[in-house]
Structure 1
Amino acid sequence: MNIIIKSVDFKAGKNLEAFIKEKVKKLFDQCDNIIRANVILRKGASKKHENRLCEIRLVVPGYDHYVKKSSIGYRRAVSQSVDVLQEILRRNKSRSLAERVASA
């Protein structure tokens, strides 16, 4: 399990990093062939309240999964990103199972 966390223009605290690792670990538990997760946190350019951005790239053999979400806080943006990635992994797993059944 390799999780790389980068925060742009600010220093992420230990609590935030622990929260991110806890959430992203669920993705590694769900899919065995994830090599690495790159998490980038940054402030958005707009002056709206929803300007906390979270980008997560899962490096998987063959192709990568990439999600970018913005929200009021970093924790909420991370949670939303992980939820979307869990759905993507679930969909890919069911698709691969359907292909195995069809080819058998």
Structure 2
Amino acid sequence: MRLQIHAVRFTADQSLLDFIQAKLDKLDTFYDRIVSGEVFLRLEGADSNKVKEKIVEVRLLIPGKELFVKEHDKSFESATDRVMDVLKDKLVRCKQKRNDISSPAITQAKFMQEEEVVETDEL
């Protein structure tokens, strides 16, 4: 997955960037069609020189949909873990919906419905 990480108004160290990259790379195991992602790291209260909380925002692009999750916590690592939990759930639901739509039972039901329409038109 292509991932861009942006640290807004501060410089993030490489170990934090590597941690986030490693965590988000694991999302491919839940949904293999992720196109790309963007991560925004923000400091709440950075203007007053007293950082209160750290905010992690993740935007994932999948075919036909865009997922966005925003979490905050005392550290970027814990906020990233919370983002991961929410994204896992969202990706599993998207995958399940995709599989439900393309399941053989639904395809057969649509086919049967089309046949009924053709038969009633003939009368």
The Cα of 1:48 is off from its aligned counterpart by 8.1
Greater percentage in helix: 2
Query: What's 2:89 paired with?
Result: 87
Q: How high is the sequence identity, in percent, across the aligned residues?
A: 30
Query: What's 1:32 paired with?
Result: 32
User: How do 1:9-88 residues align onto structure 2 when only pairs under 5 Å count?
Assistant: 9-45=9-45, 49=52, 51-88=53-90
Q: Secondary structure at the match of 1:11?
A: coil
Query: What's 2:3 paired with?
Result: 3
Q: Which runs of 5+ in 1 are unaligned?
A: none
Query: What's 2:107 paired with?
Result: 103
Aligned residues: 103
Please say if residues 43 and 51 of structure 2, whose CA atoms lie closer than 8 Å, have aligned partners that are also in contact: no
Note the alpha carbon deviations across 1:40-90, whole angstroms, 9 max, x for none: 0001249784x2100000012212100000111100111111110111011
Q: Which runs of 5+ in 2 are unaligned?
A: 109-123
Q: Distance in 2 between matches of 1:41 and 1:53?
A: 6
TM-score normalised by structure 1 residue count? 0.88
Q: Distance in 2 between matches of 1:48 and 1:13?
A: 17
Q: Distance in 1 between matches of 2:55 and 2:91?
A: 22
Q: Secondary structure at the match of 2:11?
A: coil
TM-score normalised by structure 2 residue count? 0.75
RMSD across aligned positions (CA): 1.8
